[in-house]
Structure 1
Amino acid sequence: MRVHYLIWIWIHFSFGESEFHYPCQEICLCEEGAKFVNCSGVNVTDNLIFPPETEHLDLSISNLCSVPSKVLRSLWKLQVLLLSGNYIAQVGERAFSSLERLQKLDIHRNEITVLGSSFSTGLSSLRELNLSYNRLQELYYRNFQHFENLQKLNFQNNNISSIEMGAFRSLTRLRQLHLQNNHLLNLHNGVFSMLQHLEVLNLEGNRIKTIAPGVFTSLNSLTVLNLVHNAIEHIRFKTFLTIQTPGTHILLSYNPWFCDCDLQRVFAKLHSVKRLILDDYDNMTCMDPQVLRNLSLSSVDTQLCIAETVTVLVITFTVFITVVAAIVMAERNRKKRTGKHWSEDSDISYESQD
């Protein structure tokens, strides 16, 4: 019995390395042994086997049509996975479930339209996720529920038009959220709930027209809010007043602003709030009314309420004159009906006093 045991130990130590450690693939470039494996530009198939000690794996531009789950299954030490520039249209169920140490996942420039409910399974250590330049249309809470350590999330240049209320509520450590160049129309209350550590919110290049007054309330660490190139015509003062972070930079240029006295009052109040910084106020231009089109808001803002005040005064004066004229005419008509001149009553009253 003891002989068999010694033979087993000899076999284990003699052949164990060849059984459990695989050399770097000849078609790939490896550094530091096999910790850094670069297979970019190589046609990767499920038959490839990578060393289990791999920590950084580059499979970008590799003609992949799906996530190579079989290839990734044994890479439990993997920390960085690059899958950009492929033709991945969907992510299979639990595709990354074995990558519990993964910190960066880059899947930008693919053809992904939907993220499954198990997309985040196994990725509790992930800190950076890049899904830009895909074809996503909707985002749901179930897509992100296991991303409790995620700090940077990039959805730039997708087709996103809908975000579920509270979709990001599990991302309590998120610091950057990039949603620029999508198809968002409105920002509803609760869409950014629980993002108390968010510092950068980039919404540039959407179609946002209405913003709910309390949508930014939970963003207690916000330092940059980018709303450039949207469809905003007017904004409420309390929409930005709910941002409590000292030194928040707000970008609002290249929107079709309707320049009136109400807008001037809003920005006058915003300028008085020291914690809010309107970096590009001088670049904001009016779209309407027609007479102010393409003029900078800063050059006409002091005149907007003056014009409105003059208009109100003219209307008030006109109404006053009309009322006085109506009273005089009514009095004259009354005198004519009684056969007396309007001054006769005064003469009689003077005579009675004598």
Structure 2
Amino acid sequence: MIVTRLFFLFTLYHLSDGSSCPSTCNCTENAVSCMNNGLTVIPNLENLDNNPTIIDLSGNNLNEIGPDDLSFDKTLQVKEIYLNNSEVIDISCEAFDEMDNLQELYLGENLLNNVPEDFVEDLPNLLLLELSGNQFSGNMPIIKSTSLEVLSLANSKITNVTADALRYLPNLKMLLLQQNNIKIIDPEVFERLPSDNFSVKLSYNAWECNCETAELFEYLARKNYIDTDAELYRCYSVTSSNHSDIFQRNTMKINRSICVENHGSEKSSLSRERSSQTGEENYGKESELIGTINHDKPYALVKEDSNSTQTDDLEIVVCDKQNLVVMGVHLGLNQFLIIVVSFLMGIFIGFSTFQCWSMSRYRKLDTSDSTAKLII
């Protein structure tokens, strides 16, 4: 009878509170699985008697990951944590600090709109961070990790990749940014990478067909950062209201038409800028030749050679009413008027002199003829 009672108590201990595996989870030798159980808090993992390398808490309603939620005796053995699809809104910057051997962290398909920059900074062995399917809706989040090799941010409503987005990821080898709302990325973002052993996924974003997009993808293709055979890259043309392939089919060659389509307006803007600079340079050179000119006086760039594609050969017209440039000589208005009046007076005096001389000669001829007739 006593033996039967002891056996019953022993069995009850292992099936209830004395069990090393939480009642809401399933445990194996190397894993603890608490997935899809509607959990609102992370269960107590303090009494585990197995050696878990995997903790799966996906598919729950956790909302928040606090600083001590994943702190237990065997934390150092964990290499993979699954917290994806668990309606996580907030993560403490200290949530994973004790997991020195963590290699893969899955936080995709949650409700995160930001994460602490340093929440994985103290994980020396982290290789993969999954953050896809979140709600970042703006800049790509800054992540600091010296060990991270794979960062997934696909389908996270990201619109912008800032210049320092990859600054703190010196060992990054793969960046997944497909299915976001990115329109342009400065190629300098990728120049910060210390190694050429890198790839990025950028398909299904909001690329616009312009020269900036062409420059970006030409750079990425040249560096072999993208795989044009595996992914189709398309951009939207505002002028034609349709989509175009960024790369020509079955080649790595950039489709230059995406730049040409909107090149007119961009060229006009660029020409105006260059024309202004050229005008200032020419204006300065002219000042050196003809003396000091007041640079506050207005001037205009009025003509561009229609047979030339260059914007350097421009005619400069000085609009100051008090100064004129005539035959390369800089004259004041009064000087110009004096010259004109003098020229006209010279013509008048010359014409008058010529008339007087002609009339005097006619009288002499007439007198000579009369005298001759009288003699005859």
- TM-score of the pair, normalised by structure 2: 0.63
2:169 and 2:228 map into 1 onto residues whose CA distance is 19
Q: Indicate if the aligned counterparts of 2:60 and 2:86 stay in contact, CA closer than 8 A.
A: yes
Given the superposition, is the C-alpha separation of residues 128 and 269 from structure 1 closer, same or farther in structure 2, using an over 3 Å criterion? same
User: Which residue of 2 is the match for residue 269 of structure 1?
Assistant: 219
User: Which residue of 1 is the match for residue 268 of structure 2?
Assistant: 311
User: Which residue of 2 is the match for residue 64 of structure 1?
Assistant: none
| 2:86 is the alignment partner of 1:169 | no
**Distance apart, 1:217 and its partner CA:** 3.1
**Distance apart, 1:257 and its partner CA:** 1.4
Given the superposition, is the C-alpha separation of residues 340 and 281 from structure 1 closer, same or farther in structure 2, using an over 3 Å criterion? farther
Given the superposition, is the C-alpha separation of residues 331 and 218 from structure 1 closer, same or farther in structure 2, using an over 3 Å criterion? closer
In structure 1, which of residues 197, 214, 237 is the aligned counterpart of residue 164 of structure 2? 214
**Distance apart, 1:220 and its partner CA:** 3.7
In structure 2, which of residues 290, 303, 306 is the aligned counterpart of residue 321 of structure 1? 303
User: Which residue of 1 is the match for residue 106 of structure 2?
Assistant: 154
**Distance apart, 1:182 and its partner CA:** 0.7
User: Which residue of 2 is the match for residue 38 of structure 1?
Assistant: none
Q: Indicate if the aligned counterparts of 1:254 and 1:285 stay in contact, CA closer than 8 A.
A: yes
**Distance apart, 1:68 and its partner CA:** 4.1
The farther-off stretch of 300-309 and 234-243 is 300-309
In structure 2, which of residues 65, 68, 72 is the aligned counterpart of residue 115 of structure 1? 65
User: Which residue of 2 is the match for residue 81 of structure 1?
Assistant: 32
User: Which residue of 1 is the match for residue 245 of structure 2?
Assistant: 296
Alignment of 1:1-354 (within 5 A): 22=11, 47=16, 50=19, 68=23, 79-91=30-42, 95-99=44-48, 101-122=51-72, 123-187=75-139, 191-196=142-147, 198-274=148-224, 276-279=225-228, 283-291=232-240, 293-298=242-247, 301-303=255-257, 307=263, 311=268, 315=272, 316=275, 319-321=301-303, 324=315, 326=317, 338=337
Structure 2's unaligned 5+ residue stretches are: 249-253, 279-299, 305-313, 327-331, 348-376
1:134 and 1:324 map into 2 onto residues whose CA distance is 68
Given the superposition, is the C-alpha separation of residues 162 and 310 from structure 1 closer, same or farther in structure 2, using an over 3 Å criterion? closer
**Distance apart, 1:160 and its partner CA:** 0.9
1:20 and 1:217 map into 2 onto residues whose CA distance is 59
1:173 and 1:260 map into 2 onto residues whose CA distance is 41
2:194 and 2:243 map into 1 onto residues whose CA distance is 32
2:187 and 2:91 map into 1 onto residues whose CA distance is 29
2:229 and 2:340 map into 1 onto residues whose CA distance is 69
1:325 and 1:213 map into 2 onto residues whose CA distance is 41
Q: Indicate if the aligned counterparts of 1:141 and 1:169 stay in contact, CA closer than 8 A.
A: no
Q: Indicate if the aligned counterparts of 1:78 and 1:99 stay in contact, CA closer than 8 A.
A: no
Post-superposition CA distance 1:236-264 (Å, at most 9, x none): 11211222344322110111113322332
1:303 and 1:335 map into 2 onto residues whose CA distance is 56
Post-superposition CA distance 1:143-189 (Å, at most 9, x none): 11111111111112111111012111122211221111110134567
Given the superposition, is the C-alpha separation of residues 48 and 313 from structure 1 closer, same or farther in structure 2, using an over 3 Å criterion? closer
- How many percent of aligned residue pairs carry the same amino acid? 17
**Distance apart, 1:103 and its partner CA:** 0.9
1:155 and 1:18 map into 2 onto residues whose CA distance is 44
Given the superposition, is the C-alpha separation of residues 243 and 313 from structure 1 closer, same or farther in structure 2, using an over 3 Å criterion? closer
**Distance apart, 1:291 and its partner CA:** 2.9
Given the superposition, is the C-alpha separation of residues 313 and 254 from structure 1 closer, same or farther in structure 2, using an over 3 Å criterion? closer
Post-superposition CA distance 1:207-256 (Å, at most 9, x none): 11122223223434433211001111110112112223443221101111
The farther-off stretch of 102-111 and 278-287 is 278-287
**Distance apart, 1:128 and its partner CA:** 0.9
Other structure's SS at 1:201 match: strand
Structure 1's unaligned 5+ residue stretches are: 1-10, 26-45, 58-66, 349-354
The farther-off stretch of 261-270 and 174-183 is 261-270
1:205 partner letter: N
**Distance apart, 1:125 and its partner CA:** 1.0
1:136 and 1:159 map into 2 onto residues whose CA distance is 6
Query: How many residues of Structure 1 are paired with residues of Structure 2 in the alignment?
Result: 291
User: Which residue of 2 is the match for residue 40 of structure 1?
Assistant: none
**Distance apart, 1:136 and its partner CA:** 0.6
- TM-score of the pair, normalised by structure 1: 0.67
Given the superposition, is the C-alpha separation of residues 283 and 78 from structure 1 closer, same or farther in structure 2, using an over 3 Å criterion? same
Post-superposition CA distance 1:47-83 (Å, at most 9, x none): 3654x6xxxx7xxxxxxxxx648x99xx9x9531111
Given the superposition, is the C-alpha separation of residues 107 and 282 from structure 1 closer, same or farther in structure 2, using an over 3 Å criterion? closer
CA RMSD of aligned residues (A): 4.3
Q: Indicate if the aligned counterparts of 2:301 and 2:316 stay in contact, CA closer than 8 A.
A: no
**Distance apart, 1:206 and its partner CA:** 0.5
**Distance apart, 1:140 and its partner CA:** 2.5
Structure (1 or 2) with the larger CA radius of gyration: 2
Q: Indicate if the aligned counterparts of 1:158 and 1:182 stay in contact, CA closer than 8 A.
A: yes
**Distance apart, 1:278 and its partner CA:** 4.3
1:116 and 1:68 map into 2 onto residues whose CA distance is 21
